[in-house]
Amino acid sequence: MRPEGIKAAKASRNSGKGKAYGDYKSMWDLKMEDLAQKEKLSKLAILDTLLAKKEPLSESEEVVMGLDYSYTQPSDSEDYGLRNSTDSGNSSTEMNIMLDQAEIKAVQNQYPLQPEVEFGFPKECYCGREPLLATSYTRNDPGRRFYSCDNIDDGDCHVYKWWDVVVTEEIKALGTQYAQLSDKVDYLSFLSDDDTHMREFKDRKFDLEQKLLRVERIGCDLARNTSRLFRIACVMVVVLVLIGIGLAARM
Total domains in the fold of the chain: 1
> In the predicted model, is pLDDT for residue 148 greater than 80?
yes
The pLDDT of residue 152: 78
Is the separation of the CB atoms in 80 and 97 below 8 Å?
A: no
Residue 103 lies inside a defined structural domain of this protein: yes
Is the separation of the CB atoms in 3 and 54 below 8 Å?
A: no
Residue 173 lies inside a defined structural domain of this protein: no
Residue 232 lies inside a defined structural domain of this protein: no
The 10s digit of each residue's pLDDT in 4-33 is: 444 455 555 555 444 455 566 677 778 788
Q: Which amino acid is present at 152? A: I
Residues 47, 154: Cα–Cα separation, whole Å: 35
Most confident of 46-60, 123-137, 237-251: 123-137
Residue 25 lies inside a defined structural domain of this protein: yes
> In the predicted model, is pLDDT for residue 136 greater than 80?
yes
SS (H, E, C) the chain: CCCCCHHHHHHHHHHCHHHHHHHHHHHHHHHHHHHHHHHHHHHHHHHHHHHHCCCCCCHHHHHHHHCCCCCCCCCCCCCCCCCCCCCHHHHHHHHHHHHHHHHHHHHHHHCCCCCCCCCCCCCCCCCCCCCEEEEEECCCCEEEEEEECCCHHHCCCCCCEEHHHHHHHHHHHHHHHHHHHHHHHHHHHHHHHHHHHHHHHHHHHHHHHHHHHHHHHHHHHHHHHHHHHHHHHHHHHHHHHHHHHHHHHHC
> In the predicted model, is pLDDT for residue 142 greater than 80?
yes
Residue 58 lies inside a defined structural domain of this protein: yes
Name the residue among 151, 147, 105, 144 with its Cα closest to residue 128. 151
Residue 234 lies inside a defined structural domain of this protein: no
Most confident of 19-28, 182-191, 229-238: 182-191
Q: Lowest-confidence range among 87-101, 155-169, 231-245? A: 231-245
Average pLDDT value for the chain: 67
> In the predicted model, is pLDDT for residue 166 greater than 70?
yes
Residue 27 lies inside a defined structural domain of this protein: yes
Residue 155 lies inside a defined structural domain of this protein: no
Residues ≥6 apart with Cβ < 8 Å to 160: 146, 147, 148, 149, 152
The 10s digit of each residue's pLDDT in 62-119 is: 555 554 444 454 554 444 444 454 455 566 777 777 777 777 766 555 544 444 455 6
Q: Please tell me the pTM assigned to this model.
A: 0.30
The 10s digit of each residue's pLDDT in 25-67 is: 677 778 788 888 888 787 777 777 766 666 665 666 555 555 4
> In the predicted model, is pLDDT for residue 155 greater than 70?
yes
> In the predicted model, is pLDDT for residue 147 greater than 80?
yes
Domain that holds residue 96: 10-72+81-110
